[in-house]
Amino acid sequence: MDIPTDRVRARRIGLVADTHSAKSDGSDLPQAVLDALRDAELIVHLGDMGATGSLDRFATIAPVIATRGGHAVGSDPRIASGPRVIEAGKLSIGALFDLHALAPEISLADGSRLQFGPGPLAPILERIFGRTVGVVAFAATHRSIVTEYDGVLFVNPGSPNLPAEGKGTVVMLHLEAGPPRAEIREI
């Protein structure tokens, strides 16, 4: 499988998912979502965007790339059909929609915590992304998750407008200095 790879200079990457926009121009995406990502240098939509016009709204802030979930209406060259890799400096970020579908060894426990099966993580990541990565950005749960396992940061931005519970969320991935850091931002 040929995994799309994007080389970027961004040090602040906004992660968003599960927006399920119903209007073709994305105008049903609340302004508060855009405001929460205002300082992003790149926005990665991790799938289930609904109408692809929502990507155009995000593009008013920063360049946009995406992965396809089950709910994407229309085609757009910014959307990878499966996993993609983003190279930001020396860091590789694996981005995909449904982590559990491609890595059944990793599951969601208690609704908000990742559970890792036995065995090393590296072969799983190599199977999905064609290489090891330092960050895995994923979606499909409508719950924000940030956890580190075996030296890899796992990040799910949740959903800004259809959260599984509580307030909507997005994530700002900070790559400015030191190890990558994920900041959950409530809407």
CATH top-level class of 5-186: alpha beta
Q: What is the DSSP string of the chain?
A: ----EEEE--SEEEEE----B-STT-TTS-HHHHHHTTT-SEEEE-S--EETHHHHHHTTTS-EEEE--S-EES--TTEESS-EEEEETTEEEEE-S-HHHH-TTEEEETTTEEEE-SS-SHHHHHHHHSS--SEEE--SSSSEEEEEETTEEEEEE--SSS-SSSS-EEEEEE-SSSS-EEEEEE-
pLDDT at 71 exceeding the cut of 80: no
Mean pLDDT (the chain, rounded): 94
User: What pLDDT is recorded for position 75?
Assistant: 79
pLDDT digits (tens, 9 = 90+) for 95-141: 999 999 999 999 988 877 999 999 999 999 999 999 999 999 999 99
Q: Read off the pLDDT of each residue in 75-87 and give the average, rounded to a whole number.
A: 94
